[in-house]
Amino acid sequence: MQYDNKSLYDGLVASGLIIPTGEPGVFGRNAVFEDVLERFNGLVTQLAQADGAEKFTFPPTLAREVFEKSGFMKSFPQLAMGVVSFCGCGKDHAELVSRIADGKSYDDLMTRTGVVLIPAACYPIYPSFTGTLPEGGRLVDMTHWVFRHEPSEEPTRMQSFRVREFVRVGSPEAVIEWRNMWLQRGLTLLQSLGLPAQEEVASDPFFGRVGKMLANNQREQKLKFEVVVPVISEENPTAVCSFNYHQDYFSKTFEIMQANGELAQTACLGFGLERVCMALFKHHGFDPKQWPAAVRSKLWP
Amino acid sequence: MQYDNKSLYDGLVASGLIIPTGEPGVFGRNAVFEDVLERFNGLVTQLAQADGAEKFTFPPTLAREVFEKSGFMKSFPQLAMGVVSFCGCGKDHAELVSRIADGKSYDDLMTRTGVVLIPAACYPIYPSFTGTLPEGGRLVDMTHWVFRHEPSEEPTRMQSFRVREFVRVGSPEAVIEWRNMWLQRGLTLLQSLGLPAQEEVASDPFFGRVGKMLANNQREQKLKFEVVVPVISEENPTAVCSFNYHQDYFSKTFEIMQANGELAQTACLGFGLERVCMALFKHHGFDPKQWPAAVRSKLWP
């Protein structure tokens, strides 16, 4: 298998699987792409069925107050996407329209709103945990669009994509055991689809000089794992599934207690749905009808 | 049936169907809410099946260049949501973090990005029509999160919600005939679910003084219809389905030609999926298990 940055993108476009929009990392998906995505997400649902997770869906916008409290801007300001709006009068509007017509900036005519875009699929749920958890903690299942400001021609690096996310909150032991179980489940699922998936200790893209220390610390403590598959590079395989153990970071921030009165801990895991699709297209070809029978029978039983 | 602004919101929250986030018009949906939404969307899929629409999914972000070209900021600047990001260095980051800690504005530290949030579900598709259409035109089917800057405690007025959208592009006759067919389909579908749905000539919320004229013109020409259901008010029923005939507005902007070389025309229609759910909860109660048998058997056959 040959890996490079451009051939995957060109193949996805040529086969109609993705529709470019002129903005890097922003493209449409066609029905074939969406079918693969939904089928894979269905396999995750099957794996999770016996766990009895509570299912929620939050919109792509998050209350700015919650976002600021979360500390995201301390660690990953470069990836965050804020939301602004025009709140002016008729005179301001005339100026706005004239600036757009002239191709000029109109940033100063826009005002921040009460929302930002959700930077990771788990963020909206933490404030709803505030208080004392039921015995045994909670487990939540969500599929969300998430947003990263990192425009790139590299097809797996999108400005917006969907994540199938699970969040576990409870005792440290329960949280770690659950994370380990899913790490194995994720590996097995992806390998069963003919992908050379492997497990790796990983770190998040913390900002700046202090960020390098935070990333090293995260690696040393093995707080983040990824399941990776070579998609655009063999040396730097792409994370298609990510597991973050936050210890008591979110529980302290949002005051989440176990039933026994102790501070809770949290972990989350997410399947990057578009990336899984792209890994499948890379390894099995752009036409799912031609995929190996074993892979087809799993996705379309 | 009694209608008021607050009892629907309180009922949705008390029954766990929606989860408040502290920001007006931004809330989570639970599994029961999502099941109703998906079932209803499935009925729309059934209605549309024979039409052979092409299905696409675009992310919630839209290339800013496309958005500016669309003219949305001329007509509805107050509803638009732009996207900004932090692009500064380490020193700027220290300032950013300190401002957030002090609860101060940091708008001047944020820079506009290449994207905005999609203001209506049809916007991402028009640029892909540029050029000459196949004989008979095209028909597209999409379900998108859309965004409006209108924070409100009124539950049907959301900052972000999902729309099941169809777009038809082709000759004026084909476009109008298609719109009329769906107007009848939408009415019949909603009435079959026990909702007192009615058809109305409508107008869009154009900005400012000039906007009033544009809205009057739109009504006079019957370019916009809505299917409405009383949800929070009997006098001002809520639009749950909207039909916009754009004539050649988008075709001129994005240079879309019919196979015969003439300028094409476009129309779109959208079901406001959350609003349909809320109309069902209002009219049949907050527990779908208690809904009338005729409604249940349509949604859960």
Q: Residue B15 CB: number of other CB atoms within 10 A?
A: 15
Q: Are B284 and B194 in contact (CB under 8 A)?
A: yes
Q: CB–CB of A21 and B124 under 8 A? A: yes
Q: Among B23, B78, B83, whose Cβ lies nearest the Cβ of A81?
A: B83
Q: Is B151's CB within 8 Å of A86's CB?
A: no
Distance of CA A115 to the CA centre of its chain: 19
The superfamily (CATH) of domain A5-62+75-81+119-299 is Bira Bifunctional Protein; Domain 2 (3.30.930.10)
Tokens found for residue B174: 């084909």
Instruction: Let me know: does A127 contact A276? Beta carbons within 8 Å.
Output: no
Residue A10: alpha-carbon gap to chain centroid? 24
Q: Where are the alpha helices (DSSP H) in A102-171?
A: none
* Amino acid (one-letter) located at A154: E
Lookup: tokens for A180: 């380990």
What's at B115, amino acid-wise? V
Contacts of A161 in chain B (CB under 8 A): 59
Token pair for residue B6?
Answer: 């607050």
Instruction: Pick from B27, B86, B99 the residue to mutate for testing the A interface (most A CBs within 10 Å).
Output: B86
Name the pairing type of β-strands B198-201 and B160-170: unpaired
Instruction: Single out the residue of A269, A261, A263, A259 nearest to residue A250, CA to CA.
Output: A263
Residue B171, CA distances (Å) to B121, B221, B291 in order: 22, 18, 43
Angstrom distance (rounded) from CA A242 to CA A213: 20
Mark residue B135 as left, alpha or beta (left: phi above 0; alpha: psi -120 to 50; beta: remaining): beta
For residues A76 and B94, give the distance between their C-alpha atoms in angstroms, rounded to a whole number. 13
A157 CA: distance to closest CA in chain B (Å): 13
Degrees to nearest 5, angle at CA A245 with A243 and A246: 135
The pLDDT score that the predictor gives to residue A4 is 84
Cα torsion for A156, A159, A161, A167, to the nearest 10°? 110
pLDDT tens digits, one per residue of B188-206? 999 999 999 999 999 999 9
For residue B231, what pLDDT is reported?
97
Residue pair B209/B237 in contact (Cβ under 8 Å)? The answer is no
Q: What is the pLDDT of residues B140-159, one digit of tens each?
A: 999 999 999 999 999 999 99
**CB neighbours of residue A112 within 10 Å:** 18
Closest CA to A60 of A123, A130, A133, A127: A123
> Once rounded to an integer, what is the mean pLDDT over residues A118-142?
98
Mark yes or no for CB contact A85/B78 under 8 Å.
Answer: yes
Classify strands A224-229 and A256-257 as parallel, antiparallel or unpaired: unpaired
Interface touch B107/A105, C-beta < 8 Å: no
- Under 8 Å between Cβ of B78 and A87: yes
CB contact under 8 A, B56 and A28: yes
CA gap A85, B107 in Å, rounded = 12
| Per-residue model confidence as pLDDT tens digits over A183-200 | 999 999 999 999 999 999
Could you give the CA distance from residue B36 to residue B48 in angstroms, rounded to a whole number?
19
At A195, list the tokens. 């992908």
Closest-CA distance of chain A to residue B55, Å: 5
Nearest to A37 by CA among B63, B301, B139, B59: B59
Q: What b/e sequence results for B147-163 when a residue is b if at least 16 CB atoms lie within 10 Å of its CB, and e otherwise?
A: bbbebeebbbbbbbbbb
Do the Cβ atoms of B56 and A117 come within 8 Å?
no
Token reading at B38? 């998906």
| Residue position matching structure tokens 């999502």 | B34
A9 CB neighbour count, 10 Å cutoff: 19
pLDDT tens-digit readout, A152-166: 999 999 999 999 999
Q: Which of B55, B93, B97 sits opposite A34 (nearest CB)?
A: B55
Residues in chain B predicted with pLDDT less than 50, given as ranges, are none
- A66: chain B residues, CB-CB within 8 Å: 21-22
State the Cα–Cα distance between residues A84 and A110, nearest whole angstrom. Answer: 6
In angstroms, the CA B132 to CA B137 distance is: 9
B143 Cβ partners below 8 Å, 6+ apart? B41, B57, B121, B162, B163, B164, B165, B273
Task: Tell me the one-letter amino acid at B279.
Answer: A
Q: Which residues of A touch B53 (CB under 8 A)?
A: none
Domain map of chain A by residue range? 5-62+75-81+119-299, 82-117
CB contact under 8 A, B83 and A85: no
φ and ψ at residue B224, rounded to 5 degrees = -130, 130
Q: Do B86 and A97 touch (CB under 8 A)?
A: no
Which residues in chain A are contacts of B161 at CB distance < 8 A? 59
Predicted complex ipTM: 0.96
Q: Looking at chain B, which runs of residues are DSSP E strands?
A: 18-20, 27-30, 54-57, 61-63, 82-86, 110-117, 131-132, 138-147, 160-170, 198-201, 224-229, 238-247, 256-257, 265-272
The alpha-carbon gap from B56 to the nearest alpha carbon of chain A, in Å, equals: 5
Position B4 scores a pLDDT of 83
Mean residue pLDDT across chain A: 97
CA distance A165 to A119: 13
Q: Which of A28, A61, A74 sits opposite B97 (nearest CB)?
A: A74
